[in-house]
Amino acid sequence: MDMMLWNLILSMLVLMLGYFLREKAEDLQRMNILLNRTREEIAKEYVTKTEAHHDLTRILDRLEALDEKLERLIRS
């Protein structure tokens, strides 16, 4: 009788632990999906370092051209 009661108690504990762990695994999977979606959204909104460098280079080249034109205007 004692062995049967002990088996019942242990089985209930294992059942509760399994239920708890399954619930936590589902939460972890849901959080992982949300994290991946967040990473995708952030990647859509921000530029990469190479894109920013390319744009800055174009702006600086254009400013240098305007500076040269302004100097020619002043000299003439």
pLDDT per residue rounded down to tens, the chain (76 residues): 788 889 999 999 999 999 899 989 999 999 999 999 988 888 778 888 999 999 999 999 999 999 999 999 999 8
Sign of the Cα pseudo-torsion (48, 49, 50, 53, in order): positive
State the pLDDT at residue 30: 94
What pLDDT does 2 receive?
Answer: 82
Q: What are phi and psi of 49, to 5 degrees?
A: -65, -40
Q: What angle do CA 54, 59, 62 make, to 5 degrees?
A: 125
C-alpha–C-alpha distance, residues 37 and 47, integer Å: 17
- pLDDT of res. 46: 84
Q: How many Å apart are CA 32 and CA 34, to the nearest integer?
A: 5
